Homo-oligomer: A and B are copies of this chain.
Amino acid sequence: MDLSALPTPCALVDEARLDHNLDRMAARMCRLGVALRPHVKTAKSLPVAERQRALGAAGITVSTLKEAEQFFAAGFDDILYAVGIVPSKLPQVRALRERGCRLKVIVDSLEGAQAVAAAGHPFEVLIEIDTDGHRAGVKPEEARLLDIGRALHAGGAVLAGVMTHAGASYELHDPEALAAMAEQERALCVRAAERLRAAGLPCPIVSVGSTPTALSARSLQGVTEVRAGVYIFHDLVMLNVGVCGADEIALSVLTSVIGHQAEKGWLLVDAGWMAMSRDRGTQAQPVDYGYGALCDEEGGLIDGLVMVGANQEHGIVGWRDGRADPTLAQRFPLGTRLRVLPNHACATAAAFADYRVLGRDGTIDTWPRFGGW
């Protein structure tokens, strides 16, 4: 495989690692007896979703209505929009549904439920459950859970189920704590479903998920589907969480050395924060990788070498322990190509219009991705 013709910076995907990650999650969900509804917000790329579908994915999850539009146009018709719906977006949701897209929305308030129920279309709606306190959702024991369910069911909407996302799992890095968080996510979401059913309300879907909990759950009893996104590529945050190895990170940024500050022990590279993103998700984790971890052009990790600083189109690379190593300039002369593993694959991928996919057979393919709303 000859990467020398690729312009830098560019986003590389290691196909073998991607497929390994897809297989691993699909097999795990199969063993746990639940469907997988992958979140396409990480890659925003059709070839990735097609591979997930080929492995049995039951529909997809999206973070924007643009994702819903794009993936529906490509033949995906079972879609969950996993961001609280605001009434101003209902006309676009309805238009998609009237074209045949089984697009589901979520609410976590009585006013939201009433607005959807009164909108004159049988929208399929899930109630968002708060199982970890990190963001949105109704707590499973709150009285308003049933009020929301009734407002949907008695109004014009279809109460399709409950969903939750234990985003707080990103803050953990101990297998037992992760398994406990996965169990908390499962148990509290199932509890919400049981309360709705006990009140005579339908609740066919019980949807949970995050990459850390999906890879840590020991039982998913009562759950019907799992959503996860970043597992396709993994990243340094997931490495710190402990749910992947460095050799399972499938996304990197190819960059060129554009200069040195030898006495400071700095390499300057042409991937700055525009390419890596400003995500510093490893800052509060056990190992802080700065803006990314450096690998050689072939993808071999250079242990301890990280992007210590970033400007828009400049990355500053040095040893993580802060030592000023003047030999870096000789070891990595002007024009040397390196790969940078990202802190957060969703954020890094977003800078790029396409992926360069390094195939098992030595070829380099190009897969488009999209951004925006």
Contacts and interface: CB of A to CB of B under 8 A. Distances in A.
Copies in the complex: 2
A167 B7 contact: no
21 contacts: A4-B88, A8-B88, A41-B313, A64-B313, A84-B258, A84-B270, A86-B256, A88-B256, A109-B260, A111-B333, A112-B259, A115-B335, A136-B259, A136-B268, A274-B347, A274-B350, A274-B371, A277-B277, A277-B278, A350-B351, A351-B372
A268 to B, nearest CB: 5
Contact of A9 (B256, B273, B335, B373): B373
Given A87-B334, A87-B335, A130-B261, 19 more contacts: A7-B88, A10-B373, A41-B312, A63-B312, A83-B258, A84-B258, A86-B257, A88-B335, A109-B259, A112-B259, A115-B335, A135-B316, A136-B258, A136-B268, A273-B279, A274-B347, A278-B279, A280-B280, A371-B371
Contacts of A278: 277-280, 344, 347
Contact of A86 (B130, B275, B334, B372): B334
Interface string A323-335: 0000000000111
A351 B273 CA distance: 13
A278 B347 CA distance: 8
B86 A314 contact: no
Interface string A316-356: 10000000000000000111000000001011001111000
A363 interface: no
Interface string A294-321: 0000000000000000011110100000
Closest 5 A/B residue pairs (Cβ):
A278-B278, A84-B258, A278-B279, A84-B259, A63-B313
A330 to B, nearest CB: 11
A108 B334 CA distance: 11
Interface string A275-294: 10111100000000000000
Contacts of A112: 259, 334
A85 interface: yes
Interface string A85-128: 11111000000000000000000110110010000000000000
Contacts of A135: 268, 311, 314, 316
Nearest to A281: B278
Interface string A218-245: 0000000000000000000000000000
B115 A334 contact: yes
A116 B89 CA distance: 53
Contacts of A83: 258, 270, 313-314
B333 A351 contact: no
A316 B83 CA distance: 13
B373 A7 contact: yes
A316 B178 CA distance: 24
Nearest to A274: B350
Contacts of A8: 86, 88, 373
Contacts of A108: 259
